[in-house]
Structure 1
C-alpha cells in the first residue's frame, strides 16, 4: 500500500518541509515545495498520521489502508502557532538518517535554494570540505576538490549512476537546482551500494521524484547576457500509482566578462613588446539544453518501483583559451550531445520477506565534436595578429589554432548496470551484494584526416566491473550501527593508436588488465539522542578513467595507458551534536577529522606550452590530513546561519626517485590545490511582508579561499606563481507573492568584483547581477 497527500494552508499556499510521521511503522518524510508527500511499502492496516510544521502544533489524521492506497489533503491554519521551543520533533530528516550510518557525509537540500539565481555547483561549493573548481563562467569544465583530492579521485553520481554515463551536456554545471532534491557528499569512504571505485569519496545528486501533481517553471536573466529557463512537472494517479515526470532546462550566455592580470597581455609581433590589458572574453559563448522524462509505476503488489527513463541533452560552446590564459583562441569551438535510456526496478520482500532487489540499466550515446579549422592567432583584444605586411600570423602551418585542422567527432557508447540484492534475515542484521558493470567504447572520426590515417584508428574499449559484499547491523536499541564491506575491482582497457616510426605512421595496439581488492567499515554510536560519534575507514582503489587512459582529443587530453590505479588508506573520525534548543534558538555542530594515505595519485600534468594538450601522471606518495567543521544556527525559524571551515594538508610524500635522488618538492603541498576554505551563509525571512501571506527573504554569502601555489612550493616560492587569496561576497533577496504562485528573486555575486581563480589561474567572472521569476501554480 501507499499513502500520498498534499498539505496546504487555508490561503491555498502549499506547506513545504512539514513533518509527516507514522509512528506505528516508524516512517517519516517531509513535504516538498509544493506541499506533496508520499509513503510507499506500507503494510495494509489503519494508521494515525502526525502532521507538523515548525510554526504550528501538530495534528493527527486517521487513515484506512486495509483495502487500497489513499491520497489525502490536509489544510492547516496559516503559519500562526507555538514557538519553536514548544515543539518536540519526533522524527529525523533524510539527511540526518544518512549521517547516522557512520559515513562522513554532508547533505545539501536544494528546495529552498531553487528559487534563487544559483547554480548547483555554487550550492555544493558552500559545503564544508568541498571546493568546486571551474575553468571559467557558466558551462565551463568543472573539477571537484574534496578534502584535498580532486579530479576523478572524487566520483560524481546522478541517482547513484556515474555522471559520465549522462554525457557532459547533462552535468552539475547545467542541471538547475529545481531539478534536484538533495546532494549527498561522501568524504573519503564511499558506501558499497554506489558501486564505484573512488579514492576521495563521492558526490551523489538525487533528482526530484514525482510525489504528486506539480508544476514549476522559472526564468532568469543576468550579466553577460545570461539566460536560464527550466520547467519541472509531474503527475501521479493516486488510484493506480502511475507516475510521469518531466523536466527540461535551457542555458545560454556570452561569458563576456573582463579578465586581467599576469596572463592577460598583448604582444607586438614586430617588437616583442608586452602590454598588459584588461580585456573582455570575446569568444566564450555557451548554450545547453536538455529534457529528462520518466514514466512508470510505484507501490504495486508486483513492484515497488519500475521506471522507464529518457534523457536528451546537448551543448555548444566556444573555446576562449588553451589550458592556460596565455593561449587565446578566436574560432575554436566544441559541441556535445547525449542520449540515454534507462530502466529501474525495485522490489522489497521479493520471493521471501526481507529479500530486496534494486537494479538500474542504462544505455547512452554521446558525440563530442571539435571544430578547429582556422590557424590564425588572436590576442586578448579579439584582434587577429598580423605581421608588418598585414598578413595574419598562424599558430602553426598545420591548419588549426590548437594543432592540426580538425572536425573530429568522438562517438562514445556506454552500457551500464548496477544491481543490488540485500537480505534482512534479522531486524538487526542485513547482508547484501552489489554488482556494477560499465562498458565504454569510443570511435574517432575526422573527415579532415587522410583515410590511411583514419584506418589506423580503432575503437577504444574500457570495461569495468565492481562487486561488493556488505554486512549491516545495529545493537543497543539502534545506538550502535555498523557497516562492513568488501569490494573487488576489475578493469580491461584496449586501444589502437597512431605512432610515427621511420617517417611512417603505424598502428600500435595497447591493452591492459587491472584487478584490485578493497574493504572498509562505517560505525556510529549515539552517546545520547543529541550526541553521535562517527568513524569510517576504507582501503580505497580508483582505477584510471577513460579520458586518462584513452585520452580525449576533443578536450585536448593525450592518452596515457601506462597509468597505475590510485590506492589509499582513508580514515575519518567525527561527531554530530544537536539539535540543541534554547527557547527560540537552535544549534547543530558537525565535525570530521581525516587522514588519506595515498599511492600513485593521478593528477593532470603540466600543459604543453605550444599545443592545447596535456596528459595525466601518477604521483608516487601523497599524504593528506585535516578537518572540517560546520555550525548551523536558527533563531525562531526566521534567522538562519550556516558557517563552515575546512583545512587540509596534502603533501608529496615520496622522498627518492628510482635512482635514489631526492625529489626537490618532497614535503611540498600538492601544486594547484587549495587547502584552506571557509563559507558563511546568512538568511533572514519575513512573513506577511507588505501583504498578508507574502514572504520575503534576504541572504548573504561569504566564501573564502586562501592563496595556494600553482606549481610545487619549492619551485615557486618567489614571484607570482600562486593563486591569490579570494574573499567573495554575494547578496540576494526573494519575494513570494501572497498567492504563493510567484516568486521574484535577485542575486548579486562577487559584489566587490574580486579576481576569482580556480585551475591554473583561469579567471572566473567578476561582479554579476541576476533576476529570476519562478511560477508554481496550485493543484
Structure 2
C-alpha cells in the first residue's frame, strides 16, 4: 500500500520574514503550502516557520489584507531547508477612473497633510533602548532629561518645548495619568509606534498644543499574545515589561494586561562642586550621585467585548501605578540633596466605546475617566548634605529643599472626557468633530508648610482648573486625489480658581476665565507616486496648565500671573522615496509666539513657569535613509532652529537666542542585518548611533557674543564658559541576536561609548558610559 507522502516527517523546514515596501515587519500574514494542510501566520516580527515538509516541489502562497498576494515555487531537495525574505507590495486595483491604493499604517500616517513623522518602535523593541533615546534620533526632536532613569523630560519639537508639546496615549490626552506613563518610563516594546506631529494637529487629536504632539500608540493585536522582557544594566538598573492578551473562541470577548517596572540607583559619576563642611571652602571634583534612586511600577488590566451588534469595541480598564523617587538635586546641580523623597500613586478606571454606523459612514469614539492621584513629599533632614554625602546638621532648619521642611500630602482629582465623531460625507469629503473636556482640582495638607495669617494650612485651600477644547475638521480630496486639504477650527476655553499666600501669610486669590478661537489649514499635493509637498499654517492658543499655574506640590512653584501662549505657525515640507530603498524628507518652519511659557529656574532648587514676551523662530531639518548594501542601511538627519526674542525693550539683548534651547543637532546611524550565523534560522543585527548637539547657553546671550562661524555652527562664544552647555558627541553601539528559537531575542548595548560628560536641561549632567543587556520573549498563538 503506498505511503501518504504528506504525512512523512522528514524534517525539511521553510522559514522567512514578511515585510512591506517600507521594510516594516507584517504580522498576521497567512502562509500556506498549497496542496498540503501546512499553514501558519507570521508573528509580530514578521517571522514564520513551517516544519516537517516532505521532499518535493510546492507552491507557497503568501496573503495579507491590503497587499498583493505572492505565489512562490519551492523545491525541497535532500537536506535542503529554505529561508526566505518576502516583500509584499501594496495592493492596488483600477475600476474605470476609481483608483484604490493600500499602504502600511505607518506610511499612511506619515503622508498626512499635517506634518507627521512616525517613529517605528517595533524595529527596536528588542534593543535596550529607551523611548527618549529613540526620539532623540528623530529629525526636529530633542528630548532633554534632568538626569538618569525616572528624571523629568522636556520634549522640544521645532523650537517649541515643555507643555507646548502635548502627549496622547492612543489619541487620548495623558494628563490623567500624571507621571505614570511618562516617555522616560514606558518601554518601547509596549508601543506599536509613536506619532510625532510638528505644528498643526489633525482634528482627531483634541488639544491646545502650539508646537506639536506625541501620540503613543500601544501594541495592537487580535491574536493571543504573551510578551515579556527583562533588562539589566549599569547603575543597578532593572527594567521589566509584560504584555498579555487573550481573545475568546467566539472573538467577541477579550482580556489583557500591560505592565512594566523600572528601578535604578542612578549613582553615576558627575562633575560637582563640593563644599567642605568644616572650612566652607568649595572645590571641584568628580563624585557618584548618592541619593538619586528611582523605582516605579505601572499595570493596566483591561477587558471588554468586540465585533458585536451594539459595539465595535467596548473596553474597560483599571490602571495602577506608583513612583518613588529620591531627590539628589533641585532645578540645577549647584547643591546636593541627601534625604528628601517624593512619592506618587494612583488607581485609574477608564472606559472606551467605539462603534461604526450607517454602513461605516459614521464612527463614534468615546473615552472617559475619573480618578485621583496622590503625591507625598518628605523633607525633614534638619541639615544639609554636600556632594560627598557628608551631612552637616543644623538647628536652624528642618529641611533641605526649604528651611521649614515639608511633609506635604496632595490629592489631585481629574476627569477627562473625549468624544470623537467621524463622518464620511462622500468619497471626497470627511468631517471630524472632537471634544475634550478636562477638569482638575487639588487639595492637600502639610503640617510643616506655609500658613495663612488665620493659621490655616495653605495647601488646604482647593485649586480648580477646567478646560474645554472643541475641534471641527473638514478633510477634502481634490484634483483626482492629488490634492488633500484639511481645515480645522478650534475653540479653547478654561477657567481657574485658586488661593495662595505671600510671605506674610496674606491670601492671594486667583480667578480667571478665558476663551479663544483658532484655525488651521494643511495642504498636501502629490507630485508623483513617490513624492509630495505639504504646507500647513495655523493661529493657535496654548492655555496654561494646572501645574504651571498652581505648581506641582514639589519643586515647581505657582505663578497665577501666567497668560496663554499665542502663536502663528507655518510648515513647508517635501518628501520623496526612490527604488523603495532610499528616502529624503526636508521640512522648514516659521513661528511667531507671544507670551511663550517656559519653565525656568526660580533659584537653584525650584523652578517656575514664566512668560517670555515675543519669540520668532525659523528653522529647517532634513532626514534621509539609504540602503548601502543588501545587509547595510544608513540613516541621517540634522535640525537647525533659530529661536530669538524681539521687542524686548533691552537693546543689548534684542534678537538674542532663546535661553537653554539647543539650536543645532544631528544624528547618523549604520544598521547591519545578518542571517545564518550559528544556525540556519538565527539572525543578528548590529548597529551604531552617533548624536551631535551644538553648544548652547544657559542664559540669554547678546547676539554679538555668539560664535562668528556660519549660523553659529563652529567657533566659540565670547562669554564665561560657565554659561555654556558645550558641544556634545555621543556614540552608541550594540547588537540583537535571535537564535533559531525565534521567540527569544538577546540585546546588548553600550551607551556613551567614550564616557563623555553629557549635559542637558540647565546643565544637569546625565550618565556617562553604561552597558545594558535585554532579554525579550514573545509568543503569539495564531
- The CA distance in 2 between the partners of 1:558 and 1:456, in whole Å, is 13
| SS of aligned partner of 2:374 | strand
Match of 1:598 in 2: 593
- The CA distance in 2 between the partners of 1:160 and 1:474, in whole Å, is 24
Unaligned runs of 5+ in 1: 1-8, 23-28, 37-47, 61-76, 386-391, 657-661
Match of 2:615 in 1: 622
- The CA distance in 2 between the partners of 1:400 and 1:772, in whole Å, is 38
Match of 2:652 in 1: 664
Match of 1:427 in 2: 427
- The CA distance in 2 between the partners of 1:285 and 1:129, in whole Å, is 31
Deviates more, 1:322-331 or 1:13-22: 13-22
Contact (CA 8 Å) 1:729, 1:749: kept in 2 or not? Answer: yes
How far 1:634 moved relative to its partner? 2.8
Match of 2:5 in 1: none
Match of 1:367 in 2: 374
| SS of aligned partner of 1:453 | coil
Match of 1:772 in 2: 774
| SS of aligned partner of 1:532 | strand
Return the match for 1:133 from 136, 139, 144.
Answer: 144
How far 1:564 moved relative to its partner? 0.7
Deviations 1:232-261 (A, max 9, x none): 11112352332222121111110000001x
Match of 1:677 in 2: 665
Alignment of 1:298-447 (within 5 A): 298-350=306-358, 354-385=361-392, 392-393=393-394, 397-447=397-447
Q: 1:317 to 1:81 in 2, by over 3 A?
A: closer
Deviations 1:543-567 (A, max 9, x none): 001111111231x122111111001
- The CA distance in 2 between the partners of 1:170 and 1:338, in whole Å, is 12
Return the match for 1:33 from 32, 41, 45.
Answer: 45
Q: 1:315 to 1:485 in 2, by over 3 A?
A: same
| SS of aligned partner of 1:174 | coil
Deviates more, 1:695-704 or 1:441-450: 441-450
Deviations 1:278-334 (A, max 9, x none): 110000011011101221222223222211112111110100011111111110111
Q: 1:369 to 1:12 in 2, by over 3 A?
A: farther
How far 1:729 moved relative to its partner? 0.1
Return the match for 1:702 from 681, 685, 690.
Answer: 690
Contact (CA 8 Å) 1:101, 1:522: kept in 2 or not? Answer: no
Alignment of 1:532-551 (within 5 A): 532-551=532-551
Return the match for 2:26 from 18, 31, 35.
Answer: 18
Contact (CA 8 Å) 1:144, 1:151: kept in 2 or not? Answer: yes
Alignment of 1:273-312 (within 5 A): 273-312=281-320
Contact (CA 8 Å) 1:601, 1:618: kept in 2 or not? Answer: yes
| SS of aligned partner of 2:688 | strand
How far 1:107 moved relative to its partner? 0.4
Return the match for 2:488 from 485, 489, 498.
Answer: 485
Contact (CA 8 Å) 2:638, 2:666: kept in 1 or not? Answer: yes
Deviates more, 1:306-315 or 1:240-249: 240-249
- The CA distance in 2 between the partners of 1:470 and 1:269, in whole Å, is 63
Deviations 1:111-162 (A, max 9, x none): 1211110111111111110001000000001110111111001111111222
| SS of aligned partner of 1:193 | coil
| SS of aligned partner of 2:179 | coil
Deviations 1:667-710 (A, max 9, x none): 01100000101112221111111111111111111111110011
Q: 1:371 to 1:232 in 2, by over 3 A?
A: same
Alignment of 1:243-254 (within 5 A): 243-254=254-265
Contact (CA 8 Å) 1:579, 1:587: kept in 2 or not? Answer: yes
Contact (CA 8 Å) 1:52, 1:59: kept in 2 or not? Answer: no
Return the match for 1:498 from 501, 519, 522.
Answer: 501
Contact (CA 8 Å) 2:752, 2:769: kept in 1 or not? Answer: yes
Match of 2:602 in 1: 607
Match of 1:557 in 2: 556
How far 1:33 moved relative to its partner? 3.0
Q: 1:492 to 1:473 in 2, by over 3 A?
A: same
Q: 1:778 to 1:518 in 2, by over 3 A?
A: closer
Match of 1:651 in 2: 644
Match of 1:748 in 2: 750
- The CA distance in 1 between the partners of 2:647 and 2:145, in whole Å, is 29
Deviations 1:426-453 (A, max 9, x none): 1111122211100011112123347933
| SS of aligned partner of 1:98 | helix
Match of 1:265 in 2: 273
How far 1:378 moved relative to its partner? 1.0
| SS of aligned partner of 2:549 | helix
Q: 1:169 to 1:240 in 2, by over 3 A?
A: closer
Match of 2:567 in 1: 568
Contact (CA 8 Å) 1:232, 1:246: kept in 2 or not? Answer: yes
- The CA distance in 2 between the partners of 1:367 and 1:670, in whole Å, is 35
| SS of aligned partner of 2:735 | strand
- The CA distance in 2 between the partners of 1:52 and 1:471, in whole Å, is 28
TM-score by length of 2: 0.86
Unaligned runs of 5+ in 2: 1-11, 20-24, 31-40, 49-60, 73-80, 93-101, 706-716
Q: 1:438 to 1:52 in 2, by over 3 A?
A: closer
Q: 1:456 to 1:205 in 2, by over 3 A?
A: closer
Contact (CA 8 Å) 1:645, 1:677: kept in 2 or not? Answer: yes
| SS of aligned partner of 1:122 | helix
| SS of aligned partner of 1:667 | coil
Return the match for 1:96 from 81, 91, 107.
Answer: 107
- The CA distance in 1 between the partners of 2:492 and 2:217, in whole Å, is 25
Match of 2:7 in 1: none
Q: 1:34 to 1:175 in 2, by over 3 A?
A: farther
Match of 1:476 in 2: 479
Deviations 1:693-730 (A, max 9, x none): 11111111111111001101128841111100110000
- The CA distance in 1 between the partners of 2:750 and 2:458, in whole Å, is 53
How far 1:476 moved relative to its partner? 2.9
How far 1:269 moved relative to its partner? 4.7
| SS of aligned partner of 1:760 | helix
Alignment of 1:60-209 (within 5 A): 79-80=83-84, 91-209=102-220
TM-score by length of 1: 0.87
How far 1:778 moved relative to its partner? 5.0
| SS of aligned partner of 1:552 | coil
RMSD: 2.6
Match of 2:529 in 1: 529
Match of 2:625 in 1: 632
Deviations 1:475-504 (A, max 9, x none): 233221111010000000110112354xxx
